[in-house]
């Protein structure tokens, strides 16, 4: 749920007047890797991704790679936004994270339809984070 609140000003940093709930973010970010891992498991049927013999080894490796890229982008956005306060690059990273999340969800759904459905809210959340990051950037130009 999105809340409208008075504009928050912290020192010289202006924050957006709208924000998301914290609890759904915690649940969502915790479930992303677990859901993708379940899909990877369905592709490899218990074997190592590098020794998968059911004909889907390339698909499993690609899904592992997509998850890795997604986790790096997610961590990178946090460092750039919260750590370095680089709002322009953070908005760009959030957009890249949204695209990565959509790709990860597509790949996950291909491997396991239930896992894909479970992961479907993730790119939507990332799109919201992109809009929020862009709004904060605009407010602090």
What proportion of the chain, given as a percentage, has pLDDT over 70?
63
Question: Computed from CA positions of residues 21, 121, 42, 74, in that sequence, does the dihedral angle turn out positive or negative?
Answer: negative
For the entire predicted model, the pTM comes to 0.73
For residue 21, what pLDDT band results from cuts at 50, 70 and 90?
low
How many angstroms separate the CA atoms of 101 and 21, rounded? 20
CA 17 to chain centre: 22
**Tell me, what's the pLDDT at 73?**
93
The answer to whether the CB of 60 falls within 8 A of the CB of 40 is yes
Please indicate whether residue 40 or residue 66 has the higher confidence score (pLDDT): 66
Q: How far apart are the first and last CA of the chain?
A: 27
- Candidates 129, 128, 139; CA nearest to 14 is 139
Please indicate whether residue 10 or residue 127 has the higher confidence score (pLDDT): 127
How many angstroms separate the CA atoms of 107 and 35, rounded? 12
- Furthest CA-CA distance within the chain: 57
2 pLDDT higher than 50: no
Q: Which residues have C-beta within 8 Å of that of residue 11, sequence separation ≥ 6?
A: none
23 pLDDT higher than 60: no
How many angstroms separate the CA atoms of 23 and 19, rounded? 12
Task: Return the number of other C-beta atoms located less than 10 Å from residue 82's C-beta.
Answer: 9
The answer to whether the CB of 112 falls within 8 A of the CB of 38 is yes
**Most confident segment among 18-27, 88-97, 127-136:** 88-97
């Amino acid at each position: 749920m999105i809340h409208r609140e008075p504009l928050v000003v912290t020192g010289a940093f202006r924050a957006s007047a709208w924000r998301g709930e914290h609890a759904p973010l915690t649940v969502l970010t915790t479930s992303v890797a677990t859901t993708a891992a379940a899909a990877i498991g369905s592709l490899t049927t218990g074997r190592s991704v590098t020794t998968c013999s059911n004909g889907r080894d390339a698909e499993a490796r690609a899904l592992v790679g997509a998850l890795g890229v997604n986790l790096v982008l997610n961590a990178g956005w946090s460092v750039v936004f919260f750590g370095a306060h680089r709002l322009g690059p953070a908005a760009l990273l959030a957009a890249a994270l949204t695209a990565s999340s959509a790709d990860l969800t597509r790949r996950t759904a291909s491997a396991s339809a239930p896992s894909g459905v479970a992961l479907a809210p993730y790119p939507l959340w990332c799109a919201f984070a992109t809009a929020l990051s862009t709004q904060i950037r605009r407010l602090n130009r």
